[in-house]
Protein backbone atom coordinates (compact mmCIF):
# COMPACT_ATOMS: atom_id res chain seq x y z
CA UNK A 1 0.00 0.00 0.00
CA UNK A 2 1.08 3.59 -0.56
CA UNK A 3 2.00 6.06 2.17
CA UNK A 4 -1.11 8.01 1.29
CA UNK A 5 -3.36 4.94 1.60
CA UNK A 6 -1.77 3.95 4.90
CA UNK A 7 -2.33 7.41 6.35
CA UNK A 8 -5.92 7.41 5.08
CA UNK A 9 -6.55 4.07 6.78
CA UNK A 10 -5.17 5.22 10.14
CA UNK A 11 -7.04 8.53 9.88
CA UNK A 12 -10.24 6.59 9.28
CA UNK A 13 -9.54 4.48 12.35
CA UNK A 14 -9.07 7.66 14.40
CA UNK A 15 -12.20 9.44 13.22
CA UNK A 16 -14.70 10.13 16.01
CA UNK A 17 -11.83 9.99 18.50
CA UNK A 18 -9.72 12.98 19.56
CA UNK A 19 -6.55 10.94 19.16
CA UNK A 20 -3.85 12.51 16.97
CA UNK A 21 -1.47 10.75 14.61
CA UNK A 22 2.27 11.38 14.91
CA UNK A 23 3.95 9.92 11.83
CA UNK A 24 7.27 8.48 12.94
CA UNK A 25 9.67 9.47 10.18
CA UNK A 26 13.01 8.43 11.69
CA UNK A 27 15.50 7.10 9.10
CA UNK A 28 13.23 8.18 6.23
CA UNK A 29 14.49 10.68 3.65
CA UNK A 30 12.81 14.06 3.19
CA UNK A 31 11.06 13.13 -0.06
CA UNK A 32 9.22 10.41 1.88
CA UNK A 33 8.26 12.94 4.56
CA UNK A 34 6.94 15.20 1.80
CA UNK A 35 4.69 12.38 0.58
CA UNK A 36 3.19 12.13 4.06
CA UNK A 37 2.88 15.91 4.24
CA UNK A 38 1.02 15.96 0.95
CA UNK A 39 -1.29 13.24 2.27
CA UNK A 40 -2.23 15.68 5.04
CA UNK A 41 0.04 14.53 7.84
CA UNK A 42 1.81 17.45 9.49
CA UNK A 43 3.04 15.96 12.77
CA UNK A 44 6.32 14.11 12.53
CA UNK A 45 8.14 12.13 15.21
CA UNK A 46 11.93 11.75 15.17
CA UNK A 47 14.24 10.08 17.68
CA UNK A 48 17.54 11.77 16.83
CA UNK A 49 18.24 15.45 17.36
CA UNK A 50 20.53 16.03 14.37
CA UNK A 51 18.22 14.19 11.99
CA UNK A 52 15.21 16.15 13.17
CA UNK A 53 17.07 19.44 12.90
CA UNK A 54 18.27 18.82 9.34
CA UNK A 55 14.79 17.77 8.21
CA UNK A 56 13.23 20.79 9.94
CA UNK A 57 15.54 23.10 8.00
CA UNK A 58 14.44 21.92 4.56
CA UNK A 59 10.76 21.08 5.07
CA UNK A 60 7.65 23.32 5.24
CA UNK A 61 7.38 25.40 8.39
CA UNK A 62 3.85 24.33 9.33
CA UNK A 63 5.10 20.86 10.34
CA UNK A 64 5.00 19.97 14.06
CA UNK A 65 8.20 18.23 15.17
CA UNK A 66 7.90 15.72 18.00
CA UNK A 67 11.04 14.41 19.67
CA UNK A 68 10.18 10.83 20.70
CA UNK A 69 13.60 9.31 21.42
CA UNK A 70 16.03 9.55 24.30
CA UNK A 71 17.28 13.13 24.60
CA UNK A 72 20.73 14.04 25.93
CA UNK A 73 20.97 17.32 27.83
CA UNK A 74 23.80 18.64 25.65
CA UNK A 75 21.61 18.39 22.53
CA UNK A 76 18.54 20.24 23.76
CA UNK A 77 19.86 23.54 22.40
CA UNK A 78 19.59 22.32 18.79
CA UNK A 79 15.85 21.65 18.95
CA UNK A 80 14.72 24.31 21.43
CA UNK A 81 13.92 26.88 18.72
CA UNK A 82 11.38 24.72 16.90
CA UNK A 83 10.35 21.48 18.66
CA UNK A 84 6.58 21.17 19.23
CA UNK A 85 6.59 18.50 21.90
CA UNK A 86 9.29 16.50 23.68
CA UNK A 87 7.81 13.07 24.52
CA UNK A 88 10.84 11.72 26.31
CA UNK A 89 11.59 13.66 29.50
CA UNK A 90 13.11 11.11 31.87
CA UNK A 91 14.80 13.24 34.54
CA UNK A 92 14.42 16.52 36.37
CA UNK A 93 17.90 17.47 35.16
CA UNK A 94 16.79 17.15 31.54
CA UNK A 95 13.71 19.24 32.26
CA UNK A 96 15.94 21.94 33.79
CA UNK A 97 18.06 21.98 30.64
CA UNK A 98 14.98 22.22 28.41
CA UNK A 99 13.83 25.15 30.56
CA UNK A 100 17.21 26.86 30.19
CA UNK A 101 17.38 26.47 26.42
CA UNK A 102 13.71 27.38 25.95
CA UNK A 103 14.30 30.57 27.96
CA UNK A 104 17.17 31.54 25.64
CA UNK A 105 14.85 31.45 22.64
CA UNK A 106 11.93 32.84 24.66
CA UNK A 107 9.63 29.86 24.10
CA UNK A 108 7.62 27.61 26.38
CA UNK A 109 8.28 24.02 25.33
CA UNK A 110 5.56 21.43 25.95
CA UNK A 111 6.90 18.18 27.40
CA UNK A 112 5.71 14.69 28.31
CA UNK A 113 7.21 12.56 31.03
CA UNK A 114 8.25 9.20 29.61
CA UNK A 115 7.10 6.40 31.88
CA UNK A 116 8.69 2.98 31.86
CA UNK A 117 5.73 0.62 31.58
CA UNK A 118 7.33 -2.31 29.75
CA UNK A 119 8.81 -5.44 31.20
CA UNK A 120 12.04 -5.00 29.22
CA UNK A 121 14.97 -3.43 31.05
CA UNK A 122 16.27 -1.57 28.03
CA UNK A 123 13.58 1.02 27.60
CA UNK A 124 14.11 4.49 29.04
CA UNK A 125 11.72 6.27 31.32
CA UNK A 126 10.64 7.06 34.85
CA UNK A 127 8.82 4.67 37.15
CA UNK A 128 5.36 5.77 38.30
CA UNK A 129 6.86 6.66 41.69
CA UNK A 130 9.62 8.75 40.11
CA UNK A 131 7.13 10.58 37.90
CA UNK A 132 4.91 11.31 40.88
CA UNK A 133 7.92 12.63 42.81
CA UNK A 134 9.04 14.79 39.91
CA UNK A 135 5.59 16.35 39.59
CA UNK A 136 5.62 17.19 43.30
CA UNK A 137 9.08 18.76 43.41
CA UNK A 138 8.78 22.32 44.70
CA UNK A 139 11.42 23.54 42.18
CA UNK A 140 9.23 22.41 39.28
CA UNK A 141 7.13 25.57 39.60
CA UNK A 142 10.23 27.70 38.89
CA UNK A 143 10.71 26.20 35.41
CA UNK A 144 8.72 28.85 33.61
CA UNK A 145 9.74 27.89 30.06
CA UNK A 146 8.49 24.30 30.16
CA UNK A 147 5.00 22.94 30.40
CA UNK A 148 4.34 19.31 31.31
CA UNK A 149 1.24 18.29 29.41
CA UNK A 150 1.16 14.52 29.95
CA UNK A 151 2.90 11.19 29.64
CA UNK A 152 4.42 8.87 27.07
CA UNK A 153 4.85 5.12 27.36
CA UNK A 154 5.82 2.09 25.32
CA UNK A 155 4.37 -1.33 26.06
CA UNK A 156 6.43 -4.50 26.05
CA UNK A 157 7.25 -5.93 22.62
CA UNK A 158 5.21 -9.12 22.89
CA UNK A 159 2.51 -11.10 21.11
CA UNK A 160 0.41 -11.03 24.25
CA UNK A 161 -2.32 -8.46 23.74
CA UNK A 162 -3.40 -9.14 27.32
CA UNK A 163 -0.06 -7.92 28.60
CA UNK A 164 0.05 -4.93 26.24
CA UNK A 165 -3.46 -3.90 27.27
CA UNK A 166 -2.61 -4.27 30.95
CA UNK A 167 0.46 -2.00 30.62
CA UNK A 168 -1.36 0.64 28.57
CA UNK A 169 -4.33 0.60 30.93
CA UNK A 170 -1.97 1.09 33.87
CA UNK A 171 -0.57 4.24 32.23
CA UNK A 172 -4.06 5.55 31.55
CA UNK A 173 -4.94 5.00 35.22
CA UNK A 174 -1.83 6.90 36.31
CA UNK A 175 -2.76 9.70 33.88
CA UNK A 176 -6.26 9.96 35.38
CA UNK A 177 -4.93 9.85 38.93
CA UNK A 178 -2.37 12.59 38.26
CA UNK A 179 -5.12 14.84 36.96
CA UNK A 180 -6.61 14.96 40.46
CA UNK A 181 -3.36 16.25 42.04
CA UNK A 182 -2.70 19.87 42.95
CA UNK A 183 0.17 20.77 40.64
CA UNK A 184 1.89 24.03 39.64
CA UNK A 185 0.66 26.19 36.73
CA UNK A 186 3.30 24.80 34.37
CA UNK A 187 1.66 21.36 34.58
CA UNK A 188 -1.60 20.58 32.78
CA UNK A 189 -2.01 16.86 32.20
CA UNK A 190 -3.95 16.45 28.96
CA UNK A 191 -1.99 14.20 26.60
CA UNK A 192 -1.29 10.49 26.71
CA UNK A 193 1.17 9.40 24.02
CA UNK A 194 0.87 5.64 23.67
CA UNK A 195 0.50 3.25 20.76
CA UNK A 196 2.84 2.33 17.89
CA UNK A 197 2.33 0.28 14.71
CA UNK A 198 1.94 -2.99 16.58
CA UNK A 199 -0.43 -1.81 19.30
CA UNK A 200 -2.13 1.45 18.34
CA UNK A 201 -5.54 -0.21 17.99
CA UNK A 202 -5.33 -1.29 21.63
CA UNK A 203 -3.85 2.05 22.74
CA UNK A 204 -6.75 4.01 21.26
CA UNK A 205 -9.23 1.73 23.02
CA UNK A 206 -7.33 2.35 26.25
CA UNK A 207 -7.51 6.13 25.94
CA UNK A 208 -4.45 7.27 23.99
CA UNK A 209 -4.53 10.89 22.74
CA UNK A 210 -1.48 10.52 20.46
CA UNK A 211 -0.29 7.48 18.57
CA UNK A 212 3.25 7.34 17.18
CA UNK A 213 3.19 5.24 14.03
CA UNK A 214 6.14 4.54 11.74
CA UNK A 215 6.30 1.20 9.97
CA UNK A 216 2.55 0.91 9.37
CA UNK A 217 2.82 4.08 7.28
CA UNK A 218 6.27 3.90 5.72
CA UNK A 219 7.10 0.19 5.77
CA UNK A 220 9.82 -1.42 7.79
CA UNK A 221 13.06 0.43 8.58
CA UNK A 222 16.54 -0.85 7.64
Ligand X SMILES: *Cc1c(COP(=O)(O)O)cnc(C)c1O
Closest separation between CB of residue 182 and ligand X, Å? Answer: 30
Q: Are 105 and 89 in contact (CB under 8 A)?
A: no
Angle at 208 between CA 197 and CA 71, to 5 degrees: 70
The stretch among 2-10, 95-103, 192-200, 201-209 that binds ligand X (CB under 6 A) is 192-200
Question: How is 18-60 classified by DSSP, letter by letter?
Answer: -PEEEEE-TT--HHHHHHHHHTT--EEEES-HHHHHHHHHHS-
* Alpha-carbon distances of 78 from 46, 47, 57, rounded to whole Å: 14, 13, 12
> 131, 171, 196, 210: which one contacts ligand X (CB under 6 A)?
196
69 counts as binding ligand X under rule CB under 6 A: yes
* Direct distance between the N- and C-terminal alpha carbons of the chain, in angstroms, rounded to an integer: 18
- Least distance (Å) between residue 176 CB and ligand X: 22
Query: In the bound complex, what is the minimum distance in angstroms from residue 213's beta carbon to ligand X?
Result: 5
Near ligand X by CB under 6 A: residue from 2, 11, 50, 215: 215
Strands 64-67 and 85-89, by their bridges, are parallel
Per-residue string for binding with ligand X, 23-62, x by CB under 6 A? -x-x--------------------x---------------
* 172 part of the interface to ligand X, by CB under 6 A: no
Q: In angstroms, what is the minimal distance from the CB of 95 to ligand X? A: 18
Q: Which residues bind ligand X (CB under 6 A)?
A: 24, 26, 47, 68-69, 154, 196-198, 212-216
Amino acid sequence: MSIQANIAQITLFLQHTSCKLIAVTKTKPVDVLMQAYEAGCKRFGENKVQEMQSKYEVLPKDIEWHLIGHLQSNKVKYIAPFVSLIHSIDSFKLLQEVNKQAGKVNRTIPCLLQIHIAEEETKFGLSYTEAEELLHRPELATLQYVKIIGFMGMATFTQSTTQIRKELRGLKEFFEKSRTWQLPPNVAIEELSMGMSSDYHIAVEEGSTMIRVGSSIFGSRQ
